Amino acid sequence: MKIGILGVGHIGKTLALKLAKAGHEVAVANSRGPEHIDAEALVTGAKPVTAQQAIENKEVIILSIPFNRIPDVGPLFAAVSEETIVIDTSNYYPHRDGVIDSIEAGLAESLWVMKQLGRPVAKAWNAIGSHSFETNGKPAGSPNRIAIPIASDRDSDEKITMQLVDETGFDAFNTGSLADSWRQQPGAPVYCTDLTMQEMLAVIDTAERERLPKRRDLAVSAMTERMGDSSTNPDNNYSVRLSRVLYMQS
């Protein structure tokens, strides 16, 4: 498939590497221009392009940019076909993104993204830590394979998103519609807890929506205390243990 990726941070870079290695024709773009894309993200065949080129004539477009920048790219999607699969990987963190009143009032993050783009989207790869995503993928059928939750409103979005998640080395767990995608947002039991399909199935319905923001903010405080102002990713074992303690306790 022809795939465009907007954003080459920790998740976007790994997506570029894995999907190009899987045989897809991948184009990647960032906010600074193709000449500023890290060559390491291109070693499996992804091509550096402009943001406009990354979304032109693509079968799949993946958004891997900070949540608060999604409105900035919205105009680019005016000419994108309705049949194109658009997958969002972002998460809302108010300390970073600023307070968004509609989300604070209960609008699911994915529905907010859909409003900004003016088109359907799917949600995937938002609920796995970047280190786990980079290093813990396994072939289909492997024991203890980690699952990644997805959400969508269209059958075509679901089918392609699940296929691509599998090709990046993880089982795809369908959490339902975009309206229900809050169950894979920060603070939920399936968020960055590295669960298998069976483990995810056992906890997905235990999510308590009203408790998610407080649990999310507790995790941010704990990470900040541990890491300070460092931009380095936290130790994976620590972050998974922390997420399990904060997000999976009743």
Predicted confidence (pLDDT) per residue in 151-180, tens digit: 999 999 999 999 999 999 999 999 999 999
Please state, in angstroms and rounded to a whole number, the distance separating the CA atoms of residues 123 and 86.
9
Q: Alpha carbon of 107 to those of 33, 110, 148: distances in Å? A: 33, 8, 22
Report the predicted TM-score, pTM, of the whole model to 2 decimal places.
0.93
Which pLDDT band holds residue 250 (cuts at 50, 70, 90)? low
Q: What is the pLDDT of residue 59?
A: 98
Do residues 63 and 10 touch, judged by C-beta distance below 8 A? no
Q: What percent of the chain has pLDDT over 70?
A: 96
List the chain domain ranges.
Answer: 2-179
Q: What is the mean pLDDT of residues 96-118?
A: 95
What contacts 39, CB < 8 A, 6 or more positions away? none
| Domain spanning 2-179: CATH superfamily | NAD(P)-binding Rossmann-like Domain (3.40.50.720)
Whether residue 226 has pLDDT greater than 80: no
Amino acid identity at 67: F
- Reported as a single tens digit per residue, the pLDDT across 43-93 is 999 999 999 999 999 999 999 999 999 999 999 999 899 999 999 999 999
Which pLDDT band holds residue 229 (cuts at 50, 70, 90)? low
